[in-house]
Amino acid sequence: MKDFTTSYFTMNEQDVVDYVQSKLDFFAHNAELECREIGDGNLNYVFRVVEPKSGRSIIIKQAGPVARISDSFKVSPDRNRIESELLKLHDELAPGFVPIFYSYDPIMNCCVMEDLSDHEIMRTALLSYKKFPLFAEHISTFLANTLLLTSDVVMGHKEKKELVKKFINPELCEITEDLVYTEPFYDCEQNDVFEGTKEFIRDHIWNDKQLGLETAKLKFEFMTNTQSLLHGDLHTGSIFIKENSTKIIDPEFAFYGPAGYDVGNVVANLIFAYVNASFTIVDESKREEYLGYLEQTIEDVIRLFQEKFLQLWDEKVAEKTAMVPGFKETYVNSIMNDAAAVTGLELCRRIIGIAHVKDITSISNSNDRVQAEKICLTVGKTFILERSQIKTGEDFVKVLLESVQK
Ligand code: SR1
Ligand code: MG
């Protein structure tokens, strides 16, 4: 058996079984265990360990020294510490919305958590046109709690700055700065553009000077506004879901940034599901029904987020100047403007940049895929350029519907 106590190495399935048997007391001593690597994300290795006899299971997530998506991303395995710390904090701030966390190992850069195999990855579920009537309730609670309770509105400012220090995450932030805010907006070598969409991208994105200016402003907002402790990568692949339960996973991109970042990511990824459904549901009435469900979900997420955020503000506000009449409305409006901008950035970067989403890449007819990509880019661009006008859930849906019709 390899030594897990002195120096880090990336584990294979057998190593993980040995690790679980020698380092954890989750299973009985000498339990027969099976392990499979099940990760499908861009960065890490995820192992599911099962004891077939009892049916009990556990997840071990290990950060490798380079990203799975490409060796060119050398990212510190310390991201596993950030993820572990945030899963624990999220469990306090938004109980019930994260997997049970068991342990973190700073030598092996891995953490151990609840197996959520009875849930489904939300992106996959939406691509099978499933509906989750409680999702908007759940995600709005998660967003309002985690974003407000980690901000200067509620926390002591020194205590908050300590948290900023703990969640300094330069390498993962650099990935976001490059992949979300920079590369998609010029003809960067690392971009990965679908051939049929390239001309449209050149004409409507790369050659648009106003868009270039706005994305530059937004990048500096992302880098300098330490408003709330963010999840940092809250797309539908970071959400495990079933009918009555929503669990937010994978917060390794966590850091202090603009609160609208997480909100915008959720909305953009609902829009990817929307665009997918527009092209893949053949039956018109079923298509309209599912699109209507997604429109309503987007509207509800924003509306409920605002309601819960304002309510929580009244209950928890500790900063005197934040009690000044009119301030909380201004504050929420600016989160909405940021959320709109990030919705747009995410819609553009997943089409142009290196990290795509299945919602679009799985559209098998290439003419349809080009059309779908143009819609994402048109909607995305509108969200970025018109962000200051977007305040309510209805506004988000209106931008989507109007841009789809363009
Ligand atoms: C190199 S990582 C590429 C993308 O995957 C993650 O999930 C983030 O979204 C990141 O931008
Ligand atoms: Mg992830």
Give me the pLDDT at residue 65, please.
86
Which helix (H) or strand (E) segment holds residue 87: the answer is helix 79-93
pLDDT of residue 85: 98
Nearest partner of 286 among 124, 135, 129, judged by Cα: 129
Residue 30, helix vs strand vs coil: coil
Measured between alpha carbons, how far is residue 244 from residues 127, 138, 177 in Å? 19, 9, 35
Return the ligand 1 atom nearest residue 180 CA.
11
Residues lining ligand 1, Cβ inside 6 A: 41-43, 67, 69, 73, 175-176, 179, 233, 355
Closest residue (by CA) to atom 9 of ligand 1?
Answer: 233
What's the confidence (pLDDT) of residue 381?
A: 98
Quick one: pLDDT at residue 30?
87
Name which residue sits closest to atom 6 of ligand 1, judged by CA.
42
pTM across the whole model: 0.97
Residue 68: the pLDDT is 83
Interface confidence, given as ipTM, is 0.98
Tokens representing 329? 């409305």
Provide the CATH number for the domain formed by 120-405 in this structure: 3.90.1200.10
Dihedral angle computed from the Cα positions of residues 164, 165, 167 and 170, in that order, rounded to the nearest 10 degrees: 110
Domain spans in the chain, listed from the N-terminal domain onward? 13-114, 120-405
- Residue 328 alpha carbon to ligand 2 centre in Å: 32
Q: Cα(186) to centroid of ligand 2, in Å?
A: 25
CATH classification for the domain delimited by 13-114, as one of 3.30.390.10, 3.30.70.330, 3.30.200.20, 3.40.50.300: 3.30.200.20
Q: Which parts of the chain register pLDDT below 50?
A: none
Q: Residue 228: which of 138, 343, 346, 309 has the closest Cα? A: 309
Enumerate helices (H) and strands (E) in the chain, giving the number of each.
Answer: 14, 10
Question: Rounded to a whole number, what is the largest CA-CA distance in the chain?
Answer: 64
What Cα–Cα distance (Å) separates residue 241 from each residue in 131, 198, 260? 10, 35, 22
The one-character DSSP state at 201 is H
pLDDT digits over 136-186, tens only?
Answer: 999 999 999 999 999 999 999 999 999 999 999 999 999 999 999 999 999
